[in-house]
Amino acid sequence: GIKRVIYASSSAVYGDNRQPSKCEDHQGELLSPYAVTKRVNELYARQYFQHYGMETIGFRYFNIFGLRQDPQGAYAAVIPKWVEAIKKGEALVVNGDGSTTRDFVHVSDVVDVNLKAALLADVYGKEAFGEVYNVCGGRETSLRDLVNTLSELWLELNPGDAMPGVEYQEFRPGDIHRSCGNGTKAKQRLGFVAKDRLREGLRELLK
């Protein structure tokens, strides 16, 4: 039978938690049906670990980005949407006033933490199972700062080109205004620390 399950949760389970650095043992009021489904998955996984001995590990992913990320759809991530807009010469749409923050983590770090969890030896990992972990960079970036970084990189790569403007719209219902993770638990129990790849990753996407 299946011995170990590694599953995707989300930083959305923190909801309206106002802690500047989100820790796994402090949730807030859930703000969307999506967040509810992720939290329920965590509870089921915990029960399967406690009652059946299944080695479950859940990852609360923060804002993942990297090559080949789909920019389409109402809930597409902000980085691929903005990169596509820049390349098309279209305005960058910001929901809110630009003060909203996100914790961006590169897809290569996501691969790394999944491999660590999959290959975790039982003798060392007993305390690691039945738990959830933040997969985050631990660095808070405002949308305003993200726009500025993209602009700098675009003009470096394309001297003389114009950078598209910014269009501000209303906050979306259920949006979390401030998001930054604490990666201490993943470091202590899984040996995982995400690298600071934001600028490097954005440059790669803009090429």
Residue 167 pLDDT more than 90?
yes
Please, what is the Cα angle at 63 between 57 and 65, to 5 degrees? Answer: 105
Domain boundaries of the chain, sorted by first residue: 4-206
- Which residues belong to the active site? 34
Identify the pLDDT of residue 124: 59
Question: What CATH number has the domain spanning 4-206?
Answer: 3.40.50.720
- pLDDT band of residue 18 (cuts 50, 70, 90) is confident
Do residues 135 and 116 touch, judged by C-beta distance below 8 A?
A: no
- pLDDT band of residue 125 (cuts 50, 70, 90) is low
Which amino acid type is present at position 42? Answer: E
* In the chain, % of residues over pLDDT 70: 98
Secondary structure class of 31 (helix, strand, coil): coil
Residue 199 pLDDT more than 70?
yes
- For tokens 């808070």, name the residue: 140
What's the rounded Cα separation, in Å, for the pair 2 and 136?
28
29-42, pLDDT tens digit by residue?
999 999 999 999 99
Residue 60 β-bridge partners: 9, 134
Residue 63 β-bridge partners: 104
41-89, pLDDT tens digit by residue?
999 999 999 999 999 999 999 999 999 999 998 779 999 999 999 999 9
Q: Is the pTM of this model over 0.85?
A: yes
Give the closest residue to 91 by CA, choosing from 102, 82, 78. Answer: 82
What's the rounded Cα separation, in Å, for the pair 181 and 107?
16
